[in-house]
Amino acid sequence: MFKFGVIGSGSWATALAKILTDNSHAVNWWVRNETIAQHIQKRHHNPNYLSSAYFDTAFVNTSCNIEEVVAGSTHLIIAVPSAYVADTLKILPQGALQNKQIISAVKGILPEQNLLLNDYLLQHYNHPLSDYYTIMGPCHAEEVAAEKLSYLTFSGATTTETAFLAKHFKTEYINTVVNLDVYGVQYAAILKNIYAVGAGIAHGLDYGDNFLSVLIANTADEMAGFLRKVGIRNIEVGVHQEEDPVSHQKQANYAASVYLGDLLVTCYSPYSRNRTFGTMIGKGYSVKAAQLEMNMVAEGYNASKCMYLINKEIEADMPIAATIYKILWQGLPPRSGFNVIEANLM
């Protein structure tokens, strides 16, 4: 029997809790403070994020005690910003995650350790990849709250167990896709946030849709080049496996959805906090001022530095990502950076 725990109280954690409770699954929900916990129980919604999403609190047990939530759950969804994961989990004793199924909804890389979540959990909690899954898009929390048709991509070590997990999230407004590409989907999610910051910078600099389309097409190519260098192979849109022998339907090409689809929606959507952050940078905000104005985490900021450092070893050709890093971290003027990008787009 599945007993879900949700770690986090932001918009994505709230959206996932909504999906589960809409499917009548009981949820142990860790939130940051008692005020939020009591508000959810009394008023049936999160006061700070996606406040239009209401919960049947008969299915919700809110708690500020992460050890209690972990102990009472078989499947733990970690949905806090990557920069806060280590601090959130540090209270847990070494054996707390033993035999727990971890589902990552973290669309970033842990900046202090420069690690994907599964590698961090292996190092610090001896948590195996066989008990680890990811939930990726293309999906914005705001549209889940509004019950607009959305898609979730689930990745895990085995198709059968991953598909069984995904069924618990399928609703009238959520479709699911399953694959075994745990590393590929995480790197793609990290990179698309960086590129969405770049798309926002271009928007802030008053580039038009024609340029933006070429920019995003080139980021897709750059992403594919990096993924190929780290050994990911299922990255080509239009390439399918053989059809299912029973249904005679062609297998889903998840590259089209989780790679290209998530990149597009994050670069174009007005809900994208990374695009919004980038737009502010393009309009002349400093990084600090943009962060204070948003009061939300744009994963692409830390990710740009992490991927710049990682790529020093991988040595993929990533001039767009490198330029975004230099704008955000080295003080390169956005206009100067995009003059370079503009001159080198194919």
Q: What's the full length of the chain, in residues?
A: 346
Q: Is 108 exposed, middle or buried (0-12, 13-18, 19+ CB in 10 A)?
A: buried
pLDDT at 268: 93
128 C-beta neighbours (distance < 10 Å), count: 13
One pLDDT digit (tens) per residue for the chain, 346 residues = 799 999 999 999 999 999 999 999 999 999 998 999 999 999 999 999 999 999 999 999 999 999 999 999 999 999 999 999 999 999 999 899 999 999 999 989 999 889 999 999 999 999 999 999 999 988 889 999 999 999 999 999 999 999 999 999 999 999 998 888 899 999 999 999 999 999 999 999 999 999 999 999 999 999 989 998 988 866 665 565 566 565 445 554 545 566 788 899 999 998 999 999 999 999 999 999 999 998 778 999 999 999 999 999 999 999 999 999 999 999 999 999 999 999 988 7
CA distance 331 to 333: 6
Q: Where in the chain is the domain with CATH 3.40.50.720?
A: 4-180
Phi, then psi, of 58 in degrees rounded to 5:
-65, -20
CATH architecture for the domain at 184-344: Orthogonal Bundle (1.10)
pLDDT at 248: 47
Nearest to 337 by CA among 329, 327, 346: 327
Q: Where in the chain is the domain with CATH 1.10.1040.10?
A: 184-344
Q: What is the layout of strands, in order, in the sheet containing 150-155? A: 60-63, 27-30, 4-7, 75-78, 101-104, 132-136, 150-155, 174-179
CATH for 4-180 is 3.40.50.720
